[in-house]
Amino acid sequence: MKTGLFCNYENHHQDARRAIFEQVLLVKQAENLGFEEAWVSEHHFNPSNLSPSMLLLMAHLAGVTSTIRLGTGAVLLPFYNPIRVAEDIATLDNLCSGRLAFGVAKGGPFPQQNQHFGVSIKDSRGRMLEAIALIQKLLYETDVSFNGQFYQCDNLTVHPQPLQKPIPVYIASGDDEVIRYAAENSFGLMGGPPFALTRLRNTISKYREINHSGADKFLLARFFFVAKTYDEAVSEALPFIQKFSQKMIANSTQIMQNSPHPQKSYDPTNICYEVDYLLENSIIGDVQTCRDRIKKFQDELNLGTIALKPSSLSLQKNIESLQCYNQEVRNYV
């Protein structure tokens, strides 16, 4: 199992430049500690997460790192022209000397994104799958012609070509159609911090029914903080967890109220944003607790990568937590 860093570029101190370069320092620290991967998320119209231009941020990371694999976690494909994405991804793979991993998602649950990018929510999944198919052809073939529902091209070759053939692909979704598509193409899957273990087990099980050999390409992102005692770790991570919970509950409540089939509550076997639930499903605690939780995820899901999202508001505390993980947790799971 590889260890990764999950990068949200949080603006804890309402200082954009500080937020961006504190995240860069964490990535460089992770590389120095021997972490194998760093995954950058994409968020729009959000003062708390400053990664709308994810590929620009990753191009910068490519220049200040040399060994750590850099992953898009994930490109929200429906909001882009896939021809341009193929050009950008191929260029980025060259910039980072073949260290790129290409994670994609349909975007959600944030209707504001669909509204302002002019993409219907009902078309998002179809656009994502069609875009992946076109991008895969453009990255590795020449004189590509494509005639889809949403995207078309004729006799097109993009330059430069990527260094990797192929670039590893990951999809963030629990949808049956997408799981089948990922399995049939031996793409990896990604699971986010609020996703319940039951949901993740079901997703992996469906994948393995179609493609057993590719199931180890599973990336699990989890909120993380390790300290000397459980209470100390929870106390340090709690302000971050509470802020995330409040933001996501407010967003989800709005979605449910506007839905033609509103839900009355969360399904704890699927996804939930309550504070206690997030703490229970995170890797937060003393050394033994963190070891046990990682081992449980590893045993249940056959993880390819555990991507840690440091959950203190303090850069120094997060660095110390990553160092503690490296010294006292990593080699025991």
Q: Are 62 and 95 in contact (CB under 8 A)?
A: yes
* 58 three-class SS: helix
CB atoms within 10 A of CB 242: 12
Q: How far apart are the C-alpha atoms of 118 and 78, rounded to whole Å? A: 10
pLDDT of residue 203: 93
Cis previous bond, 109, omega within 30: yes
Of 6, 152, 151, which Cα lies nearest the Cα of 72?
A: 6
Asked if residues 61 and 35 have their Cβ atoms less than 8 Å apart, the reply is no
Residue 155, SS3? strand
In terms of residue numbers, what domain contains 67?
2-332
Nearest to 313 by CA among 2, 80, 10, 1: 10
Angstrom distance (rounded) from CA 41 to CA 72: 6
Q: Which is nearest to 307 in space by CA: 218, 221, 223, 225?
A: 221
In one-letter notation, the amino acid at residue 119 is V
The pLDDT of residue 262 is 54
HSE of 286, CA atoms in CB hemisphere, 13 A: 5
Where is 27: in which H helix or E strand?
helix 16-32
CA angle, 256 then 260 then 263, to 5° = 40
Distance between the two ends of the chain, CA-based, in angstroms? Answer: 9
Distance CA 82, CA 219 (A): 23
Task: Per-residue pLDDT tens, the chain, 333 aa: give them.
Answer: 999 999 999 999 999 999 999 999 999 999 999 999 999 999 999 999 999 999 999 999 999 999 999 999 999 999 999 999 999 999 999 999 999 999 999 997 788 999 999 999 999 999 999 999 999 999 999 999 999 999 999 999 999 999 999 999 999 998 999 999 999 999 999 999 989 899 999 999 999 999 987 656 899 999 999 999 999 999 999 999 999 999 888 877 666 666 555 554 556 678 888 999 999 999 999 999 999 999 999 999 999 999 999 999 999 999 999 999 999 999 988
- Give dist(CA 154, CA 140) in Å, integer: 16
| Angle formed by the axes of helices 54-64 and 82-95, nearest 10° | 10
- How many independent structural domains does the chain possess? 1
Task: Quote the CA–CA distance of 167 and 89 in Å, as a whole number.
Answer: 9
pLDDT of residue 250: 82
d(CA 159, CA 134): 15
Query: Token pair for residue 273?
Result: 């944003």
Query: What CATH number is given to the structural domain containing 303?
Result: 3.20.20.30
